[in-house]
Structure 1
């Protein structure tokens, strides 16, 4: 290998490992474009291909239709030309994000990171890099060892371990399963933040919330806080708006597969691309990626008892129902739609925020190979895709000050779903099971005993001194 070849190889290695300077988005704008005719649609599609524009909504040019909003990130060298061409073609447009880099800078958390995090001071209202999330998972497992176990799902191309947390209390009865994946798309940081929030809320509210106590008795929650770990790390080190994983494709000429196009649900049929540089590259084959294989393996182990599959994303403010690859509805569409609609009514009561419910292909865009559709194809009763805040003002750059309200309203929605499955699908607990923690030797009784020891000692000391 000559010196030039070595240089090219080394540059590729640095780019792959995220060791070069961070990608910046100075002057990049996100435009909302609404073509009105088929000719205008074709024109926008041609510009997107010519300048390799980053489509935020829809995901692919094939899903651009007359009268339908297109959210697109335009690189700074093309911003002025793009606007001029849209004006020349009489295509309506507006500016959603004036400067993407300024928004990223605003959203960045500038704080000193010093080694291992502490669970006691862990902040759930900021975004965390992967090393802190790893620490958090370990400490959650240790602190709540009676409820939480941590399992190794697999590892990524870059040898990063993928862990899941299982939440549930021991039972001698067969338990239902709720499965949740987060962080499939690397740049969707709010999805990762929500998974941590969800786990924290379930664990801290279990003593005060009777529904959560019952759920933990009858349901095991399998939660993957970050599935696309390589991609997530890359968004912190190198390219904030990276979407895919980081596996090399086509002999290293490009990197990454869209993991939410890689499941065996009409794989690469629609809303996906076989071109490896595409943001929605579906991979060389169904479940070709290590992350996808890991999910499939765990899923197969627990699917016989699985009642619900949840996959968490942003943005758009939707609860999406199967399917994305067809306009046909799932067999139990009416039930899951009714539950989702009632859940967003509850959600709106929290922060008066509007979400939309419907089948993916009908209210968003056509897509195939998604984890939610794959779960539905495997006969999971409830399969939902959550597209969290916002509806376009910030897109994938949701500021940290919106983490708390986003998580609160999303949890409110899910708690309604859990109420429904509790009433409809779970067996009533008998008195012995309900009161188990209050029996002599039970957790509550032991806690009460230890709490009363200091009081008893004080009374004895007082009695001794008074006599």
Structure 2
């Protein structure tokens, strides 16, 4: 979506969903976000200001072959569906396939494992396509966001190492504010912080790679829930999960818009309409 693109030096945000095939709430959010943005432009004050000042690149399903497979064959499939030489095992974990401490602790070199990192960084057409696009638009893309599930977390770099990001404090304050807003409006709790510190080491992730590329506002959201349903989140929870993620997106984008390199200032985000 591109609104008011005539603004000079207009920045952009990238959102991808469905990198892991079984995380169905993720593509649902990307479609929800596009629908909400188009429906509430010139209706919701914060969303109008955001869209007037920032372009959005939205990839609803980064792993289409794997996603389709979860609908037709194996609901809990995680990887893509690429054949691997020398083995009958199928697929690469696309979120271990980026060049960020690639295939170190937290990823597997075994093609049969769920966290298989691939034969080399960006070995997969999906990760390569995303990386090429981000490389070619890195001057304008200011925010990177990857949507996952589940566990209700707002994650900042790094996940690929125990190192702290250069602007760790700034990113941490953003996700803390977003989590506070979710708790305030929806009475739901989200954990927040650097991935390696609050979950586990996960090298080769798209968010860390994007951060190292120069996109200094890089995030991963883990949506509902905290384990009762897990990947099998019922349809009745879609609206609530998407409202929470939308509020977090709006909160973070408005914070980024306050920065000198953004088009203009902002104010606090409100709840989703």
Say whether the 8 Å CA contact 1:250–1:276 is kept in structure 2: no
Partner of 1:421: 256
Structure 1 residues 19-418: aligned runs within 5 Å: 148=1, 167-251=2-86, 253-418=88-253
- In structure 2, stretches of 5+ residues that fail to align are 266-273
In 2, Cα distance between equivalents of 1:216 and 1:168: 6
Alignment check: 8 A CA contact 1:171 1:217 kept: no
Which structure: larger Rg? 1
Provide, for residues 73-119 of structure 1, a one-character-per-residue CA deviation record: whole Å limited to 9, x for no partner.
xxxxxxxxxxxxxxxxxxxxxxxxxxxxxxxxxxxxxxxxxxxxxxx
Structure with the larger RCO, 1 or 2 (CA within 8 Å, 6+ apart): 2
Q: 1:252 to 1:168 in 2, by over 3 A?
A: farther
Q: TM-score, normalised by structure 1?
A: 0.55
Alpha-carbon separation, structure 1, partners of 2:264 and 2:185: 29
Shift of 1:172: 4.5
CA contact (8 A) 2:10 2:53 kept: yes
**Deviation of the 1:168 alpha carbon:** 3.3
Segments of 5+ residues of structure 1 without an aligned counterpart are 1-147, 149-166, 430-467
More helix by share: 1
**Separation in structure 2 between the aligned mates of residue 344 and residue 316 of structure 1, nearest angstrom:** 13
Tell me the TM-score normalised to structure 2 length. 0.93
Q: How many residues align?
A: 264
Deviation at 1:169, TM superposition (A): 3.0
